[in-house]
């Protein structure tokens, strides 16, 4: 991973294994499920179009990922941290 812009999205998704492919699969915290799904789709498109890394508290370790299009859906690819040299 090289240094670049990271978009932090704390609550854009809550279920990273499901929501990139099915943004309409919301959670009880989504007050308006239709607006939540539309927001996910809009943010997903912008993140992919701009080539941004994403970070968020609901992502699995390492909590940084790249979002890629997979047909009409999306998929999160974990972005591993670079190795730290041992001194």
Task: List, for residues 11-41, the tens digit of each pLDDT value.
Answer: 888 999 999 999 889 888 888 999 999 999 9
Biggest alpha carbon–alpha carbon distance for the chain: 52
Phi and psi at 45, nearest 5°, equal -60, -45
Delimit the domains of the chain by residue range: 7-78
| Residue 3 scores a pLDDT above 60 | no
Confidence at residue 47, expressed as pLDDT on a 0 to 100 scale: 95
Phi and psi at 12, nearest 5°, equal -65, -40
pTM score > 0.75 for this model? yes
Q: Please state, rounded to an integer, the average pLDDT across all residues of the chain.
A: 88
């Amino acid at each position: 991973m090289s240094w670049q812009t990271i978009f932090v999205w704390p609550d854009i998704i809550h279920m990273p294994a499901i929501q990139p492919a099915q943004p309409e699969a919301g959670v009880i915290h989504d007050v308006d499920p239709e607006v939540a799904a539309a927001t996910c789709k809009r943010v997903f498109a912008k993140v992919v179009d701009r080539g941004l890394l994403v970070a968020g508290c609901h992502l699995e370790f390492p909590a940084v990922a790249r979002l890629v299009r997979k047909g009409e859906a999306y998929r999160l690819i974990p972005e591993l941290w670079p190795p730290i040299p041992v001194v």
